[in-house]
Amino acid sequence: MRAAYHESQGGLDVLRVGELPDPEPGPGDVLVRVKATSMDRVDVYWREGSHGMKLRWPQHVGGRDIAGVVEAVGAQVTSVAPGDRVVASGERTHASLALAPAELTFPLPDGVGFEAGGATPTAGRSAHQALVEKAQIQSGETVLVMAAGSGVGSFGIQIARAMGCRVIATAGSADKRVRAMGVGAELAVDHYNDDIVSAVREATDGRGVDVVLDHVGTPVFAAAVRSLAPEGRFVTCGVTAGHIGELHLGQLFVKGITLMGVGRPDNQRIAATMRGLLAMIGQGQVDPVIAAVYGLDEIAEAHRLMESSDFFGKIVLVP
């Protein structure tokens, strides 16, 4: 197979593109010819060796998202067959062939393209798991989505809207704030220069939001907690900009706030979340936002764009 990989950690110059041995499906695996996959922030962490990420294989191939056509299945797999269009969560997906467990391989909904499918599993699933499974958002509630231009944020806004919620978003540039409102936020706040708490209070008649979806961490944590209404829920699925937060315990007990993390759900829970998300996408309620599309040979450009944060939505790779 053709793959983008690196054998050491460091700058963009460690990235290589070349032939690696084809993966062999185990009894419960699906081998997919990858038509589209995507970049996740963690691919940059893996390449850099930051956030405690270690190389997982001598030739480390990044990526976890797959949209493509089933090439072969393991002996125990009956849910999909060669030739099926699928979307899946696997590993080593920045390649022309990739493996996924059958339980995390789903039919690509009719009318949904490979690029949209390849943009979906990791970011979309995390946003859905955080909002629907963990925070249990309800129609009529108000949700604050931090860093709306991220993969997680761009899905989070749309999932909350699809569930009947009002959405306030934050983003670091005027362009991203316009884009956030274009996918369903009714207000977008500058998370570097605006007072998030005041903006939220003004937009909610002083009450605050019912739920905060965060994946930024330290720089926004205090504002996130202070933006919550009584009985509000804070849910995190990432710590892009720092993992330490200062918490005023008085706010927690007086306001009855709940703090939660998305955790590492087992495959059964991930599958249930993916089915819910794919139904929303199939019905057109959620439309994965594609920021840019690169070929495998342009892997360094894809990493560079991810590092810059100068994009809205998901960076897609088409091997």
The residue ranges that bind ligand NAP (CB under 6 A) are 40-42, 122-123, 126, 147, 149-152, 171-173, 176, 191, 215-216, 219-220, 237-241, 262, 306, 309
Nearer to ligand NAP, 142 or 150 (CB): 150
SS (H, E, C) 169-224: EEECCHHHHHHHHHCCCCEEEECCCCCHHHHHHHHCCCCCEEEEEECCCHHHHHHH
Nearer to ligand NAP by C-beta: 171 or 229? 171
- Which residue's CB is nearer to ligand NAP, number 73 or number 216? 216
DSSP 60: B
The one-character DSSP state at 101 is E
Of the pair 152, 257, the CB lying nearest ligand NAP is at 152
Q: How far is the CB of 317 from ligand NAP (least distance, A)?
A: 14
Beta pairing partners, 38 = 316
> CA-CA distance, 214 to 116, in Å (whole number)?
23
The widest CA-to-CA distance across the chain, in whole angstroms, is 60
Q: Which is nearer to ligand NAP, 152 or 187 (CB)?
A: 152
Which of 34, 96, 94 is CA-nearest to residue 64?
94
- Shortest Cβ 310–ligand NAP spacing (Å): 7
Nearer to ligand NAP, 208 or 217 (CB): 217
Pick between residue 161 and residue 179 the one whose CB is nearest to ligand NAP: 179
Distance CA 87, CA 199 (A): 38
CB of 262 to ligand NAP, least distance (A): 5
Pairing outcome for strands 65-73 and 85-89: antiparallel
Q: How far is the CB of 131 from ligand NAP (least distance, A)?
A: 13
Cα four-point dihedral sign 65, 68, 74, 78? positive
Q: Each residue of 253-268: b (16+ CB within 10 Å) or e?
A: eebebebeebeebeee
Q: How far is the CB of 75 from ligand NAP (least distance, A)?
A: 30
Q: Provide the H-helix boundaries in the chain.
A: 41-48, 114-118, 121-128, 151-162, 174-182, 196-203, 218-226, 249-255, 267-282, 299-308
Classify residue 38 as left (phi > 0), alpha (psi -120 to 50) or beta: beta
172: buried, middle or exposed (CB in 10 Å: 19+, 13-18, 0-12)? middle
Report which residue's Cβ sits closest to ligand NAP: 238
If the CB atoms of residues 39 and 97 are measured against ligand NAP, the closer one turns out to be 39
Distance of CA 82 to the CA centre of its chain: 28
Specify the residue, 71 or 106, whose C-beta has the smaller distance to ligand NAP.
106
Taking the complex as a whole, the smallest distance from the CB of residue 213 to ligand NAP amounts, in Å, to 10
In the bound complex, what is the minimum distance in angstroms from residue 224's beta carbon to ligand NAP? Answer: 11
Q: Kindly state the smallest distance separating residue 227's Cβ from ligand NAP, in Å.
A: 14
Q: How far is the CB of 149 from ligand NAP (least distance, A)?
A: 4
